[in-house]
Chains A and B, each alone.
Chain A
């Protein structure tokens, strides 16, 4: 076991974190828009968001990756890097899940809050950003952190469809040259666990605290 192997795995772990953060930011922005469209009072508009969510949730992330890898070059003539394609796919993936999570949080804020804000003469934007969002944000934290765990795990798929050099990819390269699967995939598993377990714990703690506060 050479230290070079460890460094190679750690470098992969760094790329996993990078990909997770990029797709979380982009997916978060998209997901926020999706959740707003989803709570629209116009039936046709909200149905559009529903179709988007259902479609993305019904397609494996692996297929999303493949589409994001070949799609941009074919449809728009733009060449995207491996990291770009993986980020695009995971951002679309996250936007559907986060959109659905946040829709639930927005709708969990009592309707009277909207009405009260309207009575106070706030504009639609003020109502959303000053009254509803601060309350929905509190509710959304535990499931959002829980979803980040799912996102970090899903970055591993980029190694298959796209060949982006994240943790699983690097572990596979090491295994291909040394054939010690238990060692390298075990170590990769440990690194994923180190990244995900604290988030899982945090999500659970946040939820317990929220339940306590709402009791």
Chain B
């Protein structure tokens, strides 16, 4: 009892915290872009590809969705080292996050694509749109528009989940927090500060996603439906 909080010894290491936060944001940005692309491609193949390919993709999705990210990280990072591939941990860590979030995105995109009504595609055909045009304007775009909220919360979860990569030695925000804790011996204060930083990051990320959604889905902006 009678514990005196000492945040001053944490502020001393503030530059380390901002550096870690920056790494987390960069990690999130890269994995979001690649993850969405991967999810769109695999999600499309999952709904219209050949049967053998569909079973491979759904196997990948089920395996990733039913095992923890941490085990996937250990498996890939330590596994690559065991196999003799000398990748920097940033690269291996990014790979893990992409493999992980790609599966979730695939599943979300599948749901979105399946929600596009058949009559829409028939109407596109009747209007003389080419297959590529139909695919882009009638299938993918409306599908993405519909699942956009689910996608954004998945990517906020990804940002929070990237903290686990500290366990394989990637110095993102949580990894930096561990370092600061080691320097200052003020573990509780450090984690309180880090919790607040993560909270701010997730709020900022959500605002950014909502604004981006307004930008790329003008129909939503016109209708004024909340994202």
Contacts and interface: CB of A to CB of B under 8 A. Distances in A.
A149 B66 CA distance: 7
A66 B3 contact: no
B82 A181 contact: yes
B51 interface: no
Contact of A196 (B66, B79, B187, B198): B66
A157 B191 contact: no
Interface of A: 55, 57-64, 66-67, 70-71, 74-75, 77, 149, 153-157, 159-160, 168, 171-172, 175, 179-182, 185-186, 188-189, 192-193, 196-197, 200
A-side interface mostly = helix
Contact of B71 (A67, A75, A168, A180): A168
Interface string B165-181: 01100000010010000
A188 B163 CA distance: 21
Interface of B: 1, 3, 62-63, 65-72, 74-75, 78-79, 81-82, 156, 160-161, 163-164, 166-167, 174, 177, 187-188, 191-192, 194-195, 198-199, 202-203
A128 to B, nearest CB: 29
Most chain A CB within 10 A, of B68, B191, B203, is at: B68
B67 A192 contact: yes
Contact of A189 (B67, B192, B198, B202): B67
B70 A160 contact: yes
Contacts of A153: 66-69
Most chain B CB within 10 A, of A62, A155, A175, A186, is at: A62
A149 B68 CA distance: 10
Contacts of B177: 63
Contacts of A74: 3, 188
Contacts of B164: 60, 62, 157, 160
B82 A160 contact: no
Contacts of B67: 153, 189, 192-193, 196
A55 B198 CA distance: 10
